[in-house]
Structure 1
Amino acid sequence: GVLCRSFRADVSKPEELSGLAEMVWKEFGRVDLLVNNAAVFLPGAVDDVTPEVWDRTLDVNLKGPFFAAQAIGRRMREAGGGCIVNIASQGSLQPFTRHIPYSVSKAGIVMLTRLLALALAPSVRVNAVAPGTIIVPGEEEGTPAKPPADTIPFKRYGTPEDVAEAVIYLARAEYVTGVVLPVDGGATTG
């Protein structure tokens, strides 16, 4: 059988993440995989970024993953191992000039991934996936927020399944740590 439980926490609040880690540990006794996937994608060109947009974006996209990794990673290390996969973005590898706080936060995830990989080694592996343009079921292709699919070398948008496969690979790859794996159809190669 499979047991599925949901837990709720505001990732921008470290005290809630610490409490979440405690609840999960009490329920299951261990965590094998943490995927830091929470994010906000707020617009913000250089002349438009407000302190509120900056703070909210970095609180959710960067502070949250750090404190989640701190709370869970410590317990993983004490339990003898585990894996953390952070979700970065194409925006961490190429600048999104109309989403400056987002790109900065996701570039921070790239460095955070490398730092945590060193800090939590050898028992905890830490990697990241950097999705490109992803389309979800029911979403229209060619929406203003997405580049035309023909500008991507693979000539299509990615799917949630493409990202999930990369996360599964990194969760299973026992000799891989500190890696950022682009899942973008080749968009960041040129």
Structure 2
Amino acid sequence: MSAPVLISGTSRRVGRALALHLAESGFSVLAVNRRSLAASHPCIEQVEADLCRHDEREALIGFIRSRYQGLRGIIHNASAWLDDDLASLEQMYRLHIEAPFYLNLELGELLLNEPRADIIHICDESASRGSKNHIAYAATKAALLNMSLSFAERYAPSVRVNAISPGLLLFKEGSDAAYQQQALAKAALRFEPGAAPLLEAVDYLLQASYSTGSNIVVNGGRHLKQSI
């Protein structure tokens, strides 16, 4: 059994596209979600776990250790985009910071068992600029981005640890035309790109020979339009 790539948050949208893309590219994928993927693939094994819960993280780690001798990689894609209140901050802290930190530490030995392994943190371009409307989200994603640097140093040279910081990929479900036009106007490249930019960045990092502790920003030039 080949060492899988563990991907969290693959039940829908970009995460689902990523799991299917890597499976179709020949990787074994261990998809971790609170609920199962809507579509299956012979190269995808699905495990249900709520990564905000310590007991379910413990069960997940025990399952992986009992089943696999190594991991080809971990892609932390699970994310929550919630309003700014204390309860939401706590939930996003657990999902964006605590869960990746814990999984990276507890599964580090399995990563080191492979001749080449990768950890990829899916962050957000707001991590480097903040967000007045989603302060907690931007702050927890900034912590995840920073954590990439520390784990890159800890696990070098056999494990590469990098981050990807996307901007708009897919419109929010149920968004109206006015919102969509406003969102597009924030970038230099004014179109909804879908999952492709993130898939391309993941493909690059999984084969890159000389990249660790790096952050790939795929935001359509949003940083060029800061005055909007």
2:61 aligns to what?
A: 21
Q: 1:137 to 1:151 in 2, by over 3 A?
A: closer
Percent of aligned pairs sharing the same letter: 22
Is 1:91 matched up with 2:126? yes
Q: For the residues of structure 2 that align with 1:166 and 1:113, how far apart are their CA atoms?
A: 16
1:61 aligns to what?
A: 96
Q: 1:25 to 1:141 in 2, by over 3 A?
A: farther
Partner residue of 1:171 out of 193, 198, 206:
206
2:30 aligns to what?
A: none
Instruction: List gaps (5 residues or longer) in structure 1.
Output: none
Relative to the length of structure 2, the TM-score reads 0.72
Partner residue of 1:33 out of 66, 73, 95:
73
- The within-5 A match list for 1:139-154 is 142=177, 144=179, 147-154=182-189
How many matched pairs?
185
1:134 aligns to what?
A: 169
2:14 aligns to what?
A: none
1:42 aligns to what?
A: 82
Q: For the residues of structure 1 that align with 2:61 and 2:205, how far apart are their CA atoms?
A: 22
Q: Does the 8 Å CA contact 2:72/2:114 hold for their aligned counterparts?
A: no
Higher strand share: 2
Q: Does the 8 Å CA contact 2:119/2:161 hold for their aligned counterparts?
A: yes
Residues 21-61 of structure 1, C-alpha deviations (whole Å, 9 max, x = no match):
332343343210210011111011xxxx2x21211111111
Q: For the residues of structure 1 that align with 2:74 and 2:118, how far apart are their CA atoms?
A: 6
Q: CA RMSD in A?
A: 2.4
Q: Does the 8 Å CA contact 1:133/1:146 hold for their aligned counterparts?
A: no
Q: For the residues of structure 2 that align with 1:146 and 1:64, how far apart are their CA atoms?
A: 35
Higher RCO (Cα < 8 Å, 6 or more apart): 1
